[in-house]
Chains A and B, each alone.
Chain A
Amino acid sequence: MLREIWKHRAVYAAISPFYLLFGIFGLFPIGFSLYLAFHKWDGIGDMTYNGWGNFRYLVTDNEFWQAVGNTFAIWVYSTIPMLFFALIIAFLLYAPFVKMRTLWRVGFFLPNVTSIVAVAIIFGALFANNFGFLNYLLQLLGLPTIQWLNVPWGIQIAISSMVVWRWTGYNAIIYLAGLQSIPHVLYEAAKMDGATGAQAFFRITIPMLRPVILFTVITSTIGGMQLFTEPQVLVGNDGGAGASGMTIVLYLYRESFVNNYFGYGAAVGWGMFLIIALFSIVNWKLVQGKK
């Protein structure tokens, strides 16, 4: 085998940067974080072995479980509307009656390339308690204002809306690709058999899109579990009022880089890994259906 590698050394050399960089910046940190999870470390001084201490602390840590709860809430508030809108947008983009499709596609994708920090600042101005744009609109309509950033669901809706704004177009493009891969003959055959548009949608489009939907559900699960910048910029390192915007990664960041519990931060990271893995499996089962 080594001789085979040597024979194709130029090719292996060509692909080696990825593996080298992955080894240095991917594999090593993963291994190190596992090592770190079993130690106490303030980031500068000596590490001391802590056994399962960090994990024991983790399972009894109210703030961690609150962060898990918050993350799930935000995930639900964002993923369901996001994927729903994305599907509708994809369907429209694919529809023959829409003109200037490329322009629309670019337009829907554009939010995805905007800096999250900028987005969070704008959304902060929209949802601000006293001088926010949304409350200004509510006042114009003669409605009572809402202290968006003081109530748990308000903070979570604000963060979710950022996610929805940013990722709907992205998912729509993926759905569009999925739609384009469905053979036309299926629709033609359905038409000949007298199927309505709705029937074609639910009996052909959705089942054929299932793998794509599964893909978007899993990527948005991972993305949703890793939510960080949006809450950090919107409500700060402490997750805002009542820590309702405290997500798992924000908690990891605060414990490590603000409070200097690097060992514990690593343990939080591994806790999060387990949760994402479990959750992805559950999603897989749900979306795969009975098969």
Chain B
Amino acid sequence: MKTVRWLVLCLAFLTMISGCSGPLSSESHSSESNLPNHKKITLTLWYWNRSIDDELLTRAEKQFPDIELNTQKIGGDFKAKLKTTLAAHSGEPDIVALNDWMVELFPSADRFYDLRTLGADQFKDQYLEWKWNQGITPDDKMIAFPMDTGPTALFYRSDLFEQAGLPSDPAKVSATIRTWDDYMTAGEQLRQKVGSRSFLADNIVNVYNQMLAQNTDLYFKPDGSYIGNQSPHIRLGWQTAVAFHKKHLLANADGWTPEWNASVNNGKVASFVGAIWMKQVLTEAAPDTAGKWRVARAPGGDGNLGGSFISILKSSKHPKEAFEVLTWLQNPEHQLEAYQKIGLFPSTPGVYDDPAMEIPEPFFGGQATGLIFAASARNVKSSYFGERYPVIHGIVTRRLANVAKQDADPDALWTETQDRIERELQR
């Protein structure tokens, strides 16, 4: 009797403990069949929904018969989960997808394989140079391999542009609205003709972000020194964004909010500069305006915002095989496929001339927007972000938002921002 009681207790305890250590992933589909007749290597891959085509991952199993690919689609805060895992030094995947926040991982570059030691250089020619360079740390380690990119362009409502007496054909828009000043002038014309029913752009932070996305000198030099207080690009971006607000050209619709969705759907926003992945966001947010949107080259030049990378962690026991899988997944052919299937824009310029780029899109009035983004992607300049980019950029954009939302004095805020950054850099 006593033994039974103990057993029950132990069992109860064990169930409690085991409840805490379930699998990390929300979805996991490793193939459990094929018991090892010959030794199979297991590679774990972490990605988030729509960062890699699921069907391609299934095909990878056939492509590499000796590798069992344990793909884990990580939901929720991917970055936090990856960092926690890195900090814990356990349960790390072999291959991991990274978003553009991967600059934050540069100080921990030793936790990743330098992909060039695995032979990455032989693929270099196939990828956009600026994209390739982004994955390389200042001390010259390549820790991240290109996945998709985020070339930017001007999204605009052709009907509203027409009403305002502006050019509405993408080629003409690209030709006439070439600079941010041109764009601002167009906005004033729109304001005169259409009134306050429609605004030229969505919000002040997006204007600033887009200007930065087109520029080379950002907040830091590769040696780590801060240049944000003297870089003409940063100051000009701030001033232009403020000018947009002062001229009442902004709908003040923050990105990723229901307000933004409503504003693009009901015509309050007549245009915005955005990366290619905004296509999907826009299509889902503004179904009522289908057919009215067009895409032209961005005012102020071509830029890039976002895009992702893929890496191999140092803890992996099979870096060679992991590298084979990684380069196979991201080869030009598969990048093109991912573009067609889930809209990930290739970082392999070789496929930009493919007919797939010329498929007309009904939401954009039958325009083949792929061509615009391809041209944009080719022209992006290499820029250096630095691992503290996200923090510093956050400090600046939060204050910039206050200019638009609370009518704060932009000059006083600029000084305050620089003081705040100086303090930030000291800790």
Binding site for B on A (CB under 8 A): 10, 13-14, 16-17, 21, 40, 42-45, 53, 57, 124-125, 128-131, 147, 150-151, 238, 241-243, 257-261, 264
Contacts and interface: CB of A to CB of B under 8 A. Distances in A.
Given A17-B13, A131-B262, A241-B402, A44 B86 contact: yes
Interface of B: 5-6, 9, 12-13, 16, 77, 80, 83-84, 86-87, 104-105, 107-108, 111, 251-253, 257-259, 262-263, 268, 390-391, 394, 398, 401-402, 405-406, 408, 427
Contact of A43 (B83, B263, B391, B427): B83
Given A57-B427, A129-B252, A243-B398, A10 B9 contact: yes
22 contacts: A10-B5, A13-B6, A13-B9, A14-B9, A17-B13, A17-B16, A44-B86, A44-B111, A57-B427, A129-B252, A130-B251, A131-B258, A131-B262, A150-B405, A150-B406, A241-B401, A241-B402, A257-B77, A258-B394, A259-B394, A261-B427, A264-B427
A125 B394 CA distance: 25
A53 B390 CA distance: 23
Nearest to B88: A44
A242 B87 contact: no
A231 to B, nearest CB: 15
Contacts of B402: 241-242
Given A130-B259, A238-B394, A258-B390, 4 more contacts: A21-B16, A147-B405, A150-B405, A261-B427
A44 B16 contact: no
A53 B427 CA distance: 9
Contacts of B252: 129-130, 150
Contacts of A129: 252, 259
B262 A241 contact: no
Contacts of A21: 16
A57 B427 CA distance: 8
A17 B14 CA distance: 10
B268 A45 contact: no
A148 B401 CA distance: 15
A258 B394 CA distance: 10
A128 B259 contact: yes
A232 to B, nearest CB: 12
B268 A130 contact: yes
A260 B427 contact: no
A21 B13 CA distance: 11
Contacts of B104: 260
Contacts of B13: 16-17
B406 A151 contact: yes
Closest 10 CB pairs of A and B: A241-B405, A150-B405, A131-B262, A44-B108, A44-B86, A259-B391, A43-B83, A238-B398, A242-B402, A44-B87
A36 to B, nearest CB: 11
